[in-house]
Amino acid sequence: MSTSVQQSATPRESTQGLRRIGVLVHPTRNLDEPLRLLREWTQERGIEVVQIPAAYPQRRVADEGAAADCDLIVSIGGDGTTLAALRAGSVADRPVLGIACGSLGALANVKVAGASRALERFSRGDWLPRRFPALSIARSEAEPLFALNDLAIVRETGGQVRLTALVDGTLFARMAGDGAVVSTPIGTSGYAISAGGPLFLPHVDGFVFTPLPKHGGFAPPLVIASRSELVVDVAGAFAGARIEVDGQIAGVGVGVLTITFRPAVVTQVSFDDQEPLLAGLRRRGILLDSPRLVAEANRTGVNRRAET
């Protein structure tokens, strides 16, 4: 059976032939330390660094280059920056390493202090490829798109978005409200869970349709099999609607969307000693315990300290 996030059981071959690294950076965060570490590591080894274009304005840190001409793409920032790098990597078929700078997300998986070690391990082939899926989005009134994280259908102005959702030709729901979010497994830890959708663990197949607040009716978040087809018709939206793909506006008046699952679209560099998804979400405070149980645990801890 295929998996939504595929991770190899063995490290890759050595990549000591590394010649060029492409970098994408956050537009506003302080990047001095990770950039210093990247420059020192690459200069010592005679590796060229170029800057990959993105859909948002970046701070200029290197000469511009093409993702396809790089051996590795490095993102420095948060999950949004890493998503931009993953999109570039998916088109160019290049692996992506995410360095986290003040991020609460789950995609930028290397801390700044570990940047040099992560680059060295990659160059030695001591890394594990995580293969992420995507959503293919065919549009009745525009060019097709793909989403690595999520597709959001939201109201453009006042009023309500009206949409009809069908799975494999069977009607699921007709809704009027703020819209809906369709998420890949890696996207479920963002917009989807904030809207009340489920959280997918790695290796779970499928995608999720999560309604945003709506005017009456009942339509719970729907988990959809990877082999199924989701059709969302928003052609009848009264106030107009827009579509956002991976956090970027991708059009208005979206019409009919046909959404399917694409496995193993992009490769992220990971390592065997990185923390599991749930541990990372708990550490960042995205997953929180019941206050009653937290209070009981704190009380027990205080009592035990008093006894010693």
Give the C-alpha separation, 197 to 189, whole Å: 9
> What is the rounded CA–CA span in Å between residue 77 and residue 126?
23
The three-state secondary structure class of 165 is strand
Give dist(CA 135, CA 117) in Å, integer. Answer: 33
User: Within a 10 A sphere around the Cβ of 5, how many other Cβ atoms?
Assistant: 22
How many whole angstroms from its chain centre is CA 57? 19
Query: In the annotation, is 71 catalytic?
Result: no
* H or E element at residue 52: none
Q: Which of 32, 71, 79, 168 is catalytic?
A: 79
Helices (H), the chain: 32-45, 79-92, 115-124, 191-194, 277-283, 291-307
- What 3 state SS string does 4-39 have? CCEECCCCCCCCCCCCEEEEEECCCCCCHHHHHHHH
Residue type, 60: R
Q: Which residues, other chains included, contact 9 with Cβ-Cβ below 8 Å and sequence gap of 6+? A: none
Candidates 207, 241, 253, 249; CA nearest to 227 is 207
CA dist., res. 63 & res. 68, Å (int)? 15
Pick the closest to residue 91 from 117, 61, 70, 114 (CA basis). Answer: 70
Active site residues: 79
